[in-house]
């Protein structure tokens, strides 16, 4: 197993664990953190491929993902705060009425 395979395996593992966390955890904040973990897994694969190909395009995309992740958190945190203020709970089960 070479270095690239190791890192791609790690990025797949991080993405999958993040997805598992979003599905199985009940705490809103923990679910948000698991989404960040998924983004980190994607970033690792982009950096690995950019390193392998010797081109800067992957690094540029990683930088843009940093911006998107920051924007996502900046919007998600106020929404979580307002939801918690309304329901007084971080449990995802308390938000069943948000179903369409």
Partner 1 sequence: MIETLLAGLDELLLVAFGIGALAGALLMIVLREPMRVATALISTMVFLGGIYGLLGVHFIAAFQVLIYVGAVMVFMVYVIMMLDPRDPAIQSRFSRLLVPAVIGFVILVFVLVGAAWQGAPEAPAAPRETFGLQQFAAAFVREYWLHFMVATVLMEAAIVAAVAVVKLHRRGRG
Q: Which of residues 28-47 bind partner 1 (CB under 8 A)?
A: 29-30, 32-34, 36-37, 40, 43-44, 47
x/- mask, partner 1, residues 45-84, rule CB under 8 A, reads --xx-xxxxxxxx-xx-xxx-xxxxxxxxxx-xxxxxx-x
Task: Indicate the residue among 93 and 100 with the shorter CB distance to partner 1.
Answer: 93
Q: CB of residue 97 vs partner 1: minimum separation in angstroms? A: 15
CB 28 within 8 A of CB 80: yes
Q: Per this entry, what is the length of the chain?
A: 100
DSSP 54: T
User: Which 3 state secondary structure label does DSSP give 15?
Assistant: helix
Q: CB of residue 98 vs partner 1: minimum separation in angstroms? A: 15
């Amino acid at each position: 197993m070479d270095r690239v395979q190791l890192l791609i395996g790690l990025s797949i593992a991080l993405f999958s664990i993040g997805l598992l966390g979003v599905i199985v955890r009940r705490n809103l904040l923990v679910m948000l953190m698991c989404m960040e973990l998924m983004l980190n897994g994607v970033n690792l694969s982009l950096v690995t491929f950019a390193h392998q190909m010797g081109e800067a395009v992957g690094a540029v995309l990683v930088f843009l993902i940093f911006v998107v992740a920051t924007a996502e958190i900046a919007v998600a945190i106020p929404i979580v705060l307002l939801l918690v203020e309304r329901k007084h709970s971080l449990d995802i089960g308390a938000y069943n009425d948000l179903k369409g």
